[in-house]
Amino acid sequence: MSDQLTGLQSYEEFVPKLKKAVSDMPEEASIAIVYSDIKHFKYFNDTYGYRRGNKLLARMSEMFSSGGEGFLGGARVVSDNIVCARFCADGDEKVFLDEIKASISYIEQILRKEFSCERIRMTAGVFFIDAKAKGINVETAISNANLARKQSKLDGNDSVTLFHPEMASKIDSELEIISTIDEAINNHELEAYYQPKIESGTGRIIGAEALVRWIKPNGTMVYPDQFIPILEKSKQIINVDYYIYNEVFSFLRGRLDKGESVVPVSMNVSRQHMKDLEIIDYVRDLCDTYKVPPQYLEFELTETMCTERTERVMEFITAFHEMGMKVSMDDFGSGYSSLKLLSQIPIDVIKLDRCFLRSRELGDREKIIITNIVHMTKELKMRSLCEGVETSDQSTFLAGIGCDEQQGYYYSKPVNIADFRQLLVSGCAR
């Protein structure tokens, strides 16, 4: 019954062995089920061939088997997956998990060396069966470890993830988003909403930010907080951003063609774009296609992006400035902002994060901080915008200290294109 190609035992052979091990387990002991795979295994197979791929899997399993005392060897489940179990005599979960992590990183290093491939990386999900969980169906336990492995892949950061009960529903909804977004884009289910930016003191609309909304075929609206963070873990976010950019360019082009008034519109840039900066050529092509004058276009980078990838961000800003567009720093003050960064990065607009206006009544400390950031922005010859303005008092205060622009529910929520057209007709949001 063993796997013909790798010589590993099969899942069917493994399950009864595991069942027996669980029922024989002493009170204070525990068993960890480790469900593991090689990241980008398909790439390895395509590059080196299936025989070598199978050798890699067989070796991975062999290493697991030799990696600890009382070890129940690995079974190959499907293509690139291997499940195995390990015993811990005294059942301290944390120590045990650290041990498993260490074994996995050791196995990873050996495989890289033996197969001369630095790209080999493993992911694993772990499920513990202790005395309390002894009655669990082992197949359920294995599939829980598998869920943890999938979560590990979705998160893309930690190579070993421990199962917890909320994972099942979380993964379901994440996978649903990941697997349906491309179709949603093709079906034009995404829509750009516009939130006006207001000139302090006059109430005039002097710009807008485009914010994505996902309108499902049944009419329910999905807000970006529910899907952007999930898509941002991979390159899938790029198509969402590009979709919105196209909407904005086409909206502006349409108004220019009809001789209607236009204001600059800013678009959000996800951190994924900083990996290859293909966005520069993409936006250049959009400019060629739509011929929208660059002064109507602005791009928002987040503060954390600027700290993490300063060099790429510099390249981005230089290219966008050369095209004649403005770049703003979004959510300023929400992360570990370094003031030094401001002296290095030639940003045009600072958008103060709405966390500064969290309480509707502004406290003295908040007032001091906002005032100083606004003054500093002025001295650095940048413009300042405060996000999340919800009350008349806040708006008066901001106008008083010389904050250039404001954005928030006090003036308008993000609205659909039809409502935004109406706002542009009146020119004011209140």
- Judged by the rule CB under 6 A, the positions of this chain that interact with ligand C2E are 195, 211-212, 223-225, 228, 237, 240-241, 244, 268, 270, 330-331, 354, 388-390, 407-409, 414
For ligand C2E, which is the closer residue by CB, 81 or 195?
195
CB 85 within 8 A of CB 34: yes
390 binds, among Ca ion, ligand C2E, none (CB under 5 to 8 A by kind): ligand C2E
Rounded distance between C-alpha atoms, residue 365 and residue 368, angstroms:
5
Question: What would the two tokens of residue 256 be?
Answer: 């220019």
Which residue has its beta carbon closest to ligand C2E? 408
Q: Minimum CB separation from ligand C2E for residue 349, in Å?
A: 13
Burial-class residue 10 by CB neighbours within 10 Å (0-12, 13-18, 19+). middle
Distance of CA 130 to the CA centre of its chain: 34
Paired residues of 332 in beta bridges: 352
Which residue in 146, 161, 236, 268 binds Ca ion (CB under 5 A)? 268
Q: Are 124 and 36 in contact (CB under 8 A)?
A: yes
Residue 361: contacted member of Ca ion, ligand C2E, none (CB under 5 to 8 Å, by partner type): none
Residue that is written with structure tokens 């502004």 in the block: 362
The Cα-based distances of 255 to 194, 292, 424 in angstroms read: 15, 10, 11
User: Terminal CA-to-CA distance of the chain, rounded, Å?
Assistant: 74
Is there binding between residue 108 and Ca ion (CB under 5 A)? Answer: no
Closest CB to ligand C2E among residues 85, 357: 357
Contact 316, 326 (CB under 8 A): no
Pick the stretch among 53-61, 76-84, 123-131, 322-330 that binds Ca ion (CB under 5 A). Answer: 322-330
- Closer residue to ligand C2E, CB minimum distance, 32 or 398: 398
What strands lie across the sheet with 122-129, from one edge to the other? 9-10, 72-76, 81-88, 30-38, 122-129, 160-162
Tell me the C-alpha distance between 191 and 178, whole Å. Answer: 18
Span near Ca ion by CB under 5 A; candidates 32-40, 127-135, 142-150, 266-274: 266-274
How would you label 251-277 residue by residue, b for 16+ Cβ within 10 Å and e otherwise? bbbebbeeeeebbbbbbbbbbbbbeee
Which of 241, 300, 303, 404 contacts Ca ion by CB under 5 A? 300
Identify which of residues 96 and 410 has a Cβ nearer to ligand C2E in the complex: 410
User: Please, which residue, 152 or 266, has the CB nearer to ligand C2E?
Assistant: 266
What the block records as the tokens of 237 is: 């976010």
Out of ligand C2E, Ca ion, none, what residue 409 binds, judged by CB under 5 to 8 A for its kind, is: ligand C2E
CB atoms within 10 A of CB 217: 8
- CA gyration radius, the chain: 27
CB 318 within 8 A of CB 302: no
Q: How far is CA 280 from the centre of its chain?
A: 21
Q: 129 or 244, CB closer to ligand C2E?
A: 244
Compute the distance between CA of residue 10 and CA of residue 318 in angstroms, rounded to an integer: 56
Provide, rounded to whole angstroms, the least separation between the CB of residue 232 and ligand C2E.
7
In whole angstroms, the minimum distance from the beta carbon of 224 to Ca ion comes to: 10
- Of 264 and 414, which CB lies nearer to ligand C2E in the complex structure? 414
Q: How far is the CB of 41 from ligand C2E (least distance, A)?
A: 30
**What amino acid is encoded at 2 in this protein?**
S
Contact partner, 395, from ligand C2E, Ca ion, none, Cβ < 5-8 Å per class: none
Nearer to ligand C2E, 80 or 298 (CB): 298
Q: Which is nearer to Ca ion, 108 or 330 (CB)?
A: 330
Stretch of 97-105, 121-129, 329-337, 338-346 lying at the interface with Ca ion (CB under 5 A): 329-337
CB of 239 to ligand C2E, least distance (A): 10
Among 37, 80, 303, 330, binds Ca ion (CB under 5 A): 330
Taking CB under 5 A as the criterion, the residue among 37, 80, 108, 331 binding Ca ion is 331
User: What minimum distance in Å lies between the beta carbon of 94 and ligand C2E?
Assistant: 35
CA distance 349 to 316: 15
Catalog residues that contact Ca ion under the rule CB under 5 A: 268, 300, 330-331
